Amino acid sequence: MMTREEVLDKLNEIFRDVFDDDSIEVCDSTTSADIEGWDSLEHINLVLAVEQEFDFKFEMGQVVSMKDVGEMVDIILAEL
């Protein structure tokens, strides 16, 4: 079982890959406003990369209601 920190670490890597920026440091309260290029259309690539990394599929309802990185971690932990 992965810990919250481990999930966050993996997520950080994914964010760096998707937004091609090695200076990104995400935490629970990170939102799209904090990261350059994270708009609604780029969100899909993030979602896909997370699905691929953790091997599950988000439901539409989850994607719609996700507000920040912390909520994304909650969903991932529940799915693992």
Partner 1 sequence: MKELEYPFDSEYLLKKKRAVRKALLAEAGPFTEKKIAVLGGSTTHDVIAMLELFLLNQGIRPQFYESEYGRFWQDAMFPEQALDSFQPDLIYIHTSSRNIRQFPEPGDSMEQTRRLLEQEFDYYRQMWQSIEEKFGCPVIQNNFELPYFRLMGNRDASDPGGRVYFITSLNQMFYDYARSHDHFYIQDILYLSASFGLERWSDPFYWHMYKYALCVPAIPALAFNLSNIIKSMLGKNKKALAVDLDNTLWGGVVGDDGPEGLTMGPETSMGQVYGAFQSYLKALKKLGILLNVNSKNDPENALAGLNHPDCLLKPDDFIVIQANWENKDRNILEIARTLNILPESIVFVDDNPAERAIVRAHLPGVAVPEMEQVEHYIETIDRSGFFEVTSFSGDDRKRNEMYRDNVKRAGLEASFADYGEYLKSLEMKAVIRGFEPVLYDRITQLTNKSNQFNLTTKRCTQTDIVHMAEDDGFIDLYGRLTDRFGDNGVVSVVIGEQQKDALHIRLWLMSCRVLKRGMEQAMMDGVVKRCRERNIGHIYGYYYPTAKNNMVKNFYQEMGFEKVREDAEGNTLWRLSGLEQYENKNQYIEVEK
- Least distance from partner 1 to the Cβ atom of residue 60, Å: 5
Q: By C-beta, is 50 or 69 nearer to partner 1?
A: 50
What is the 3 state secondary structure string of 4-40?
A: HHHHHHHHHHHHHHHCCCCCCCCCCCCCHHHCCCCCH
Contact positions toward partner 1, by CB under 8 A?
Answer: 14, 17-20, 40-41, 44-45, 48-49, 52, 60, 63-64
- In angstroms, the CA 78 to CA 80 distance is 6
Q: By C-beta, is 3 or 39 nearer to partner 1?
A: 39
- Least distance from partner 1 to the Cβ atom of residue 23, Å: 14
Q: By C-beta, is 29 or 36 nearer to partner 1?
A: 36
Rg (alpha carbons) of the chain, rounded to whole number: 11
